């Protein structure tokens, strides 16, 4: 990984960011190929798929800190592996500071160009499917926490790879409830909403309690 990071070092001034849609950029395709072709993904019982964030590195994002706090409270940290996906492609969380993942600024939610949205869904579906194929035998269980186009890409990538996502949260019923009752900037709200986080915690506890004794 050290060589990859050195080779891919950004030639941009401090404080600068890539601002084009990242899923089009060669830098992201190159790093994705490194993850698929070279990176050894750690063997874990549980994969947790969660969307990328505006703040970099992702782990400094308020939403990621909330989600990670729930994960750490409910699950044994040695048993799960966090994977970030979205406009960045798909990346094991421990690589979050590798270029270009900590060096871009883009919000898909503000995009109104249908072609760009369609391209994102197509490209991200392919990248998720590629990662699921690579890690087919790495994880025993897969859990996704996502809404909107990210959720759709995860579902489509799972179908394409024929690798199931065991649990996808929030549930459709919870999303519909938030849409019906909420007054949010985005139609489905934010993953940081109390309704979503509460359900996420409850379902993780239910999942943990259903695991065979050997996996607890």
* The pLDDT of residue 129: 98
* The pLDDT of residue 212: 84
pLDDT tens-digit map of 119-160:
999 999 999 999 999 999 999 999 999 999 999 999 999 999
pLDDT tens-digit map of 72-126:
999 999 999 999 999 999 999 999 999 999 999 999 988 899 999 999 999 999 9
- Residue 75, domain member (yes or no): yes
Residue 26 pLDDT more than 50? yes
- Residue 163, domain member (yes or no): yes
- 6 pLDDT band (50/70/90 cuts)? very low
CATH of the domain at 50: 3.40.50.10630
Q: Rounded distance, CA 99 to CA 95, Å? A: 9
Three-state DSSP at 89 gives strand
Query: pTM for the full model?
Result: 0.89
The whole domain housing 22 covers: 2-170
Q: How far is CA 10 from CA 24, 28, 91, 101, 167, in A?
A: 17, 12, 18, 11, 37
The HSE-up count of residue 117 (CA atoms within 13 Å, CB side) is 11
- Residue 186, domain member (yes or no): no
* The pLDDT of residue 9: 38
- Residue 184, domain member (yes or no): no
pLDDT tens-digit map of 171-204:
999 999 999 887 666 678 899 999 999 999 999 9
- 8 pLDDT band (50/70/90 cuts)? very low
Q: Which of 123, 120, 163 is nearest to 141 (CA)?
A: 163
- 52 pLDDT band (50/70/90 cuts)? very high
- Residue 140, domain member (yes or no): yes
What is the number of structural domains in the chain? Answer: 1
Three-state DSSP at 121 gives helix
- Residue 181, domain member (yes or no): no
- Residue 30, domain member (yes or no): yes
């Amino acid at each position: 990984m050290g060589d990859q990071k050195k080779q891919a070092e950004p030639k941009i001034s401090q404080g600068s960011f890539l601002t084009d849609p990242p899923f089009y950029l060669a830098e992201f395709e190159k790093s994705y190929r490194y993850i698929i072709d070279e990176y050894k993904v750690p063997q874990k019982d549980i994969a947790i798929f969660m969307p990328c964030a505006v703040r970099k590195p992702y782990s400094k994002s308020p939403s990621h800190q909330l989600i990670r706090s729930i994960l750490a409270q409910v699950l044994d940290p040695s048993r799960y592996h966090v994977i970030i996906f979205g406009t960045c492609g798909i990346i094991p969380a421990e690589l979050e500071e590798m270029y270009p993942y900590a060096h871009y600024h883009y919000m898909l939610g503000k995009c109104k160009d249908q072609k760009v949205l369609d391209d994102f869904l197509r490209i991200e579906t392919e990248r998720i499917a590629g990662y699921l194929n690579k890690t087919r035998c790495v994880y025993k269980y897969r859990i996704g926490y996502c809404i909107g186009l990210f959720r759709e890409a995860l579902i489509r990538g799972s179908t394409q790879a024929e690798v199931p996502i065991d649990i996808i949260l929030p549930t459709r019923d919870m999303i519909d409830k938030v849409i019906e009752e909420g007054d949010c900037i985005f139609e489905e709200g934010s993953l940081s909403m109390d309704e979503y986080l509460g359900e996420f915690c409850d379902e993780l506890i239910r999942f943990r309690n259903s695991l065979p004794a050997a996996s607890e």
